[in-house]
Amino acid sequence: MRRARSFTRLTGIVAVAVASLALTACGSGSGSESTGDSTSSGPFTIRVAMGSTGETVDAVFTKLKAAYEAKYPGRTVEIVIQENDTYETIGLNNLLTSRNAPDVYFERPGTRLATKVHDGYAADITDAVNGPGFTGRFDPAAYSGMQIDGKTYMVPWSGDVTNVFWFNKAIFTANGLTPPATWDEFLALCGKLKAAGITPLVDGNKDKWPIGSIASHLAERSLGNDAYIAAIKGDQPMNSAGMVAAFDNLKTLADNGYINKSVNALPDDQATTQFLLGKAAMIGIGSWLVSDQISQAPKLQIGYFNLPTLPGSGDQKSVLGVSTGFVVNANSEHVSAGTDFLALMSASEATKLFAEAGLTPMTVDPFAGVTADANTVSLATLLSSAPTKVTPADNIDVKRADEFYGAAAAVIGGLKSPQEALDAAQKRVEALPKS
C-alpha cells in the first residue's frame, strides 16, 4: 500500500508518457489491413462459422466439408462451431474482426442481418442466388428478411417454431386431458394437473429468452403484430394496456403455481431434461425439442399444441417462428467459393441430411425422401401455413428485447406485477440512445 503515497504526484507524468506511447503504437497498429477480392487460383481455405445446434447437426457439417472438398479440389473448408449462446453474443463479432475471419457465417435475418450489412460484413450475393446453384431450391418467401434494398445478403437455412407447448402424452392420457384450444381451457387443464400433484409446466428461463418468446407471442395475440413490433422497436410504449393484458397471462401462470418455481434459475436445456424425465406435464419451448427428445428420451411419446387462443386484437392462429441463414463475409477473399458452399448446403442431398438431424430446412422439399419425426413435419406445416408469422422480440431489437424479456422474467418469477415490470422496462428503454 506504500505505492499509493506517490501515486497522485506522478499520475500526470504517467499520462503524458502513455499518451506518447499510444501515438507511436497507433502508427504501427493500423497498417496491416489487407482487403480486396483477389481471385487466387492456388489452394485455399474457407472458414464457415456457426453456433452449435447439437452434435447431430454439427456432424452434418463435417460431411458437407468432405463433399465440398471432393467437389472442389484445392479448396479446404474449416468449420468453426462455437457454443451457441457465445456465438451469438461475443463470438461472431470477435471472429469477424479476427485474423482468421470467417468467409461464411450463420446469422439471423432482419435487424441482425441489417447491422452486418451496414457494418460491411455481408456480401451482396444477389447474382449468385439467382444463378444455377440455387435454382428452384427456395420459395421467394423464404428470403423474407434476407433482402435489403432489393439485394440479397443471406441464403436461408432452417426454420424453427420458437414457441409451442409440448406435452407428455402419458401424463395427459392418465389424467384424461386433451390439448386445449383456448387459454381458459389451458388454465383449467393446468389446474387439474396441479391438483393431481403434477407440475403442469416447466421452463428454464435463466437466459430469459424462453419466457421472453412466450411473452412475444402473447403480446402479438393481444396487440396485433404491427403494434407488437412497434412496441419492441420503440415506436410505441412498451407499457400499454394491451401489453399489460398480455403479461397478465404470465402472472396467472405464476400466481397459480402452474409453472416451476425455479423457472428463472434453470437453464433452458435443464428444463428440457426435466420435461423429458417426466417431471412436468408440459414445457413451452420451440421445435428443436424434438432433437433433444430423440437423443435423450427416444421412447417418450410427446405432442404439441400452439399457444391457445386468447381474447385480443391479434391473430389468434399466429405462429411464433424464426428463420435462419448463412451470410458470405464481404471482406472474404473467396466470395464465390463461399456461395459455392452455400449452394452445396442448399442442395437436396444436404437438405436430407439436415432433416434427418432433426432440423426443418427452408428449402422447397424439406422432408423429401426422409422419414422425419412426425412432430417435426407437422411443425414445419404449422409454420409454413401460419396466417401470421410472429418474430420473437430479440430478433427485432436486441437491446429493447432485453428489457422486454427482463419484464417477462420478473412477472413469471412473481417479482413484479405486469404494470410495474413494464413501466420499469419502458423507463429503461426510454433512456436508451436513439439508434
Q: Which of residues 390-419 bind other proteins (CB under 8 A)?
A: 398-399, 402, 406, 409-410, 413, 415-416
Q: Does residue 386 bind other proteins (CB under 8 A)?
A: no
Q: Does residue 195 bind other proteins (CB under 8 A)?
A: no
What is the residue whose three cell numbers read 410427446? 302
What is the residue whose three cell numbers read 474482426? 97
Q: Does residue 91 bind other proteins (CB under 8 A)?
A: yes
104-107 and 147-148: which strand pairing? Answer: unpaired
Q: Does residue 255 bind other proteins (CB under 8 A)?
A: no
Q: Which of residues 200-229 bind other proteins (CB under 8 A)?
A: 206-208
Q: Does residue 66 bind other proteins (CB under 8 A)?
A: no
As a whole number of angstroms, the distance between CA 148 and CA 165 comes to 34
Nearer to other proteins, 147 or 296 (CB): 296
SS3 state at 417: coil
Q: Residues 6 or more apart from 400 whose CB is under 8 A from it? A: 232, 233, 234, 238, 393, 429, 432
Q: How far is the CB of 204 from other proteins (least distance, A)?
A: 10
**Phi and psi torsions of 287, nearest 5°:** -65, -20
Among 41, 43, 70, 99, binds other proteins (CB under 8 A): 99
Q: Does residue 119 bind other proteins (CB under 8 A)?
A: yes
Q: Residues 6 or more apart from 55 whose CB is under 8 A from it? A: none
Q: Does residue 95 bind other proteins (CB under 8 A)?
A: yes
Beta bridge mates, 80: 49
Nearer to other proteins, 52 or 336 (CB): 52
Neighbours of 286 (CB within 10 A): 22
Cell numbers at residue 48, please? Answer: 464457415
Q: Which of residues 2-41 bind other proteins (CB under 8 A)?
A: 2-8, 10, 13-15, 17-19, 21-22, 25, 29-30, 32
Q: How many positions of this chain bind other proteins (CB under 8 A)?
A: 80
Q: How far is the CB of 164 from other proteins (least distance, A)?
A: 20
Among 38, 100, 173, 182, binds other proteins (CB under 8 A): 100
Q: Does residue 62 bind other proteins (CB under 8 A)?
A: no
DSSP annotation string for 113-131 = HHHHHHTT-S---HHHHTS
Q: How far is the CB of 272 from other proteins (least distance, A)?
A: 7
As a whole number of angstroms, the distance between CA 280 and CA 104 comes to 40
